[in-house]
Structure 1
Amino acid sequence: MPEIIKSTGDYKKLLSYQKTDVIYQITFFFCHNFLDIGDRIVDQMIQAARSGKQNIIEGCAASATSSKTELRLLNVAKASLKELLEDYEDYLKTRGHRQWQQGSPEFEAMRRLGATRNDATYFMGLVASRPPETIANMAIILLNQADYLLFRQLKKAE
């Protein structure tokens, strides 16, 4: 019997979801440990990270019945993560910290880690002992990787 509604698979197997789950957990940790809890930026950063992750889940669910809705939700996820990326970059700039550049040892090491690891437990073990500027740089690299994964996912869904 043919499928009436296409199968969406398990969103937890998507690399984009796994990456954004790591980003959400890192952002939650970062905000609660290094920013003033009463500051609006805390809620905005956590919400942007959550929105990135949750819209991937919703997009995956919507893909069963509407490609248009799937694309819209994945684009919302992408936009939320871009907003979060800017927040991390602003954090570094406003505090006089250096943003890692492509080719630097730190950048390349983190890029390799981000390309091969997607488990939040691993990354949370790393951030637990790092200063905030290192965590911000780690998040920036992971956000750029998530953006690329979402770009590929959007192209495939079109």
Structure 2
Amino acid sequence: MIESRVLLTAFRGSSAEQLINYVNVFDTLFLPNDKVKDSEKLIKKISDDTYDYVFSFGQRPNIKDKVHIETTAKNGITSVETDFDYEQLQKLFESNGVVAKISHNAGTSYCNSLYFNGLSYIQKNKLKTKMVFVHIPYLKNIYNKELFFADFIEVISKTGDENEYRKIL
């Protein structure tokens, strides 16, 4: 099996940063919490390197021990939807013990801005990269951080593996 190239992004100072600090097998990109610079860094990274998957992570304050998989990013009246197979991702999360909700609202600030600009760049440049944005809880809303992070990383490791998808169908 050919290994997928995966990039993980997270905003500095967030639970998402701690999540990807937990990982050492994928490329990572830490973002400075600046709407313009965040998108510039992401676009530079995906234009310089070829990735099969980009997982961008942010934190959402009102969720506990679950994730929200974002389908859509908006800029005013313009919206862009991911072509990532988010329903299969949801099934992978669920089969690995992580409660996952499909969400159509990536927020109104940093997360949404990064997602909108990343998806727009990928689509405009006809890249084969699949990007998805996942909101995770604040650390205080995760009951068992080590288990949650381990299960989470297990799911990311299985992304793109057709055998894993077949197991859950």
TM-score computed with the length of structure 2 as normaliser: 0.29
Using CA pairs below 8 Å that are at least 6 residues apart, which structure has the higher relative contact order?
Answer: 1
More strand by share: 2
Higher helix share goes to which structure?
A: 1
